[in-house]
Amino acid sequence: MISGSRFRTIFEESNKIIFLSILACSLGILTNIQAIAQPPAPPQQGPVAITGATIHTVTEGVIEGGAVLFENGLITATGIGIDIPTNAEIIDATGKHVYPGFIHSQTTLGLMEIARIQESTDLQETGQINPNIRAQVAFHPASEHLAVAAVHGVTTVVPAPRGSLIAGRLAAMMTDGWTWEEMTVREGLGMVVEWPAMRNTESYLKDIRLLQEAFDKARRYKVARQAMKDGAGVHHPHDIKWESLIPVLTGEMPVFISVGEIKQIQAAIAWAEKEGLQTVLVGNRDMGLVAGQLAEKGIPVILTGVIAGPARQWEGYGQAYKTPLQLFEAGVDFCIAGDMGAASAYRIHHHASSAVAFGLPEEEALRSITIRAARILGIDDLVGSIEPGKEATLMITDGNALELWTRKEMVFIRGRQIEMRDKHLRLYEQYMEKHRQKQMPE
């Protein structure tokens, strides 16, 4: 899904013109993209201790005036009065706050540079059944939007392929690094399934048959290959698609099913249960209408688009903002994802904090973009909180990280202190220099 706001812009600027002469523009882009950002940070050298800060561990409460010590990219200690090695670099963060890096669990970041330029996006493969696709191999380390996310504390992201019934496999990526390979936090997090639209029964049933066939065929393939492995004396050639579905069939890899309206939510739940799959639902406001059932079934939810208008004329102006509260009160295991746009990945915290404006407890908002997300994605052993043993992927801020005015002063990803520069700052400085040269008032 393309972020709604993005589409609306294009629409409102001109409701008739949607497409652009791509040929005419692609040349310009290529040159533009090559003028890239600052270099990624080197690996952590010696131990680092952040002291005197308010540490929002997320899992172990808030430590006032405490310290975080990390070494070789991993947190080794947190708390008050911990032993700090003499060779440690000490960062005095008195009066500052330390938070785990934010996790954006549904984005196009790294797979899209300019929305309207097809050549700059790698989101969708031909055909409806693409379980073999691996999102991370097209993750573009030079994307300008990565640094923007990183300097705003968005350290871990899940770029999501889309546009097919089975769109491919998800990976968690870090937002700073030289290659996609070293930026991969964990691959094979889940299999993207886009539940078909249910407006037209005929086309819906056609799509469901396609989806079902894929799973049935993969199951037959699994049996046959197992027999082959077990030495049954039969040979079955490798099938690149069905091979990739095996971890889903065995329950090792969850399906991430995108759903919209209630009909889709309930149909997807029933299907996944029938297939015996481990399931995560990805959807928006109508999740609130079935919150009780989601809680009862213990199905985790990635909630997209908290910042949005009402879908129906009678809905309250705050309906979308209130959905996290509805899920929380019903006891649903949920996390919040921001809008899909690559350029807006940086503002994931706003989706969480706007839910606070409509009743979600502040600590739950923070958890919904850190530890809750990490757990649903299955990366909570690595990131999502400030705990010894986890990666030192965290930030120092000058205030409440959920507030829009708060500045992120330092960001560490796996202990590496990243340079706090992005395209925004670079162009700002460049053009301030222009105006300085022209002796304009500062």
CB under 8 A: which stretch of 38-46, 217-225, 301-309, 324-332 binds other proteins?
301-309
Q: Are 165 and 129 in contact (CB under 8 A)?
A: yes
Q: How far is the CB of 295 from other proteins (least distance, A)?
A: 20
The answer to whether residue 367 forms part of the interface with other proteins (CB under 8 A) is no
Q: How far is the CB of 214 from other proteins (least distance, A)?
A: 27
Site for other proteins in 86-125 (CB under 8 A): 113-117
Angle, in degrees to the nearest 10, between helices 201-229 and 262-275? 20
Q: Rg of the Cα trace of the chain? A: 23
Distance (Å, rounded) from C-alpha 202 to C-alpha 111? 33
CB under 8 A: which stretch of 2-10, 164-172, 213-221, 252-260 binds other proteins?
2-10
Q: How far is the CB of 109 from other proteins (least distance, A)?
A: 11
For residues 253 and 345, which CB has a smaller minimum distance to other proteins in the complex? 345
Binding residue for other proteins (CB under 8 A) from 356, 369, 376, 392?
Answer: 356
The answer to whether residue 9 forms part of the interface with other proteins (CB under 8 A) is yes
Question: SS3 of 25, please?
Answer: helix
Question: SS3 of 7, please?
Answer: helix
Sort 87 into a burial class: Cβ within 10 Å, 0-12 / 13-18 / 19+: exposed
Phi and psi, residue 83, nearest 5°: -75, 125
The answer to whether residue 34 forms part of the interface with other proteins (CB under 8 A) is no
Question: SS3 of 158, please?
Answer: strand
Distance (Å, rounded) from C-alpha 136 to C-alpha 189? 11
The answer to whether residue 342 forms part of the interface with other proteins (CB under 8 A) is yes
Q: How far is the CB of 407 from other proteins (least distance, A)?
A: 5
Q: Are 121 and 138 in contact (CB under 8 A)?
A: no
For residues 199 and 229, which CB has a smaller minimum distance to other proteins in the complex? 199
Question: SS3 of 268, please?
Answer: helix
Q: Kindly determine how many residues on this chain lie close enough to bind other proteins according to the rule CB under 8 A.
A: 73
The answer to whether residue 270 forms part of the interface with other proteins (CB under 8 A) is no
Q: How far is the CB of 313 from other proteins (least distance, A)?
A: 4
The answer to whether residue 12 forms part of the interface with other proteins (CB under 8 A) is yes
Q: Are 154 and 102 in contact (CB under 8 A)?
A: yes
The answer to whether residue 220 forms part of the interface with other proteins (CB under 8 A) is no
For residues 25 and 77, which CB has a smaller minimum distance to other proteins in the complex? 25
The answer to whether residue 32 forms part of the interface with other proteins (CB under 8 A) is yes
Site for other proteins in 181-210 (CB under 8 A): none
Binding residue for other proteins (CB under 8 A) from 343, 366, 371, 376?
Answer: 343
Site for other proteins in 131-170 (CB under 8 A): 144-145
The answer to whether residue 434 forms part of the interface with other proteins (CB under 8 A) is yes
* Contact residues for 335 (Cβ-Cβ < 8 A; gap 6+): 103, 105, 300, 301, 302, 303, 368, 369, 372, 373, 375, 376
Distance (Å, rounded) from C-alpha 14 to C-alpha 310? 23
Q: Are 109 and 145 in contact (CB under 8 A)?
A: yes
Distances (CA, A) of 114 to 25, 33, 110: 11, 10, 11
Q: How far is the CB of 82 from other proteins (least distance, A)?
A: 31
Q: How far is the CB of 124 from other proteins (least distance, A)?
A: 17
Binding residue for other proteins (CB under 8 A) from 309, 329, 333, 378?
Answer: 309
Strand residue runs (E) in 57-136: 62-71, 74-79, 89-92, 97-100, 102-107
For residues 47 and 260, which CB has a smaller minimum distance to other proteins in the complex? 260
Binding residue for other proteins (CB under 8 A) from 45, 197, 432, 433?
Answer: 432
CB under 8 A: which stretch of 9-17, 61-69, 177-185, 205-213 binds other proteins?
9-17
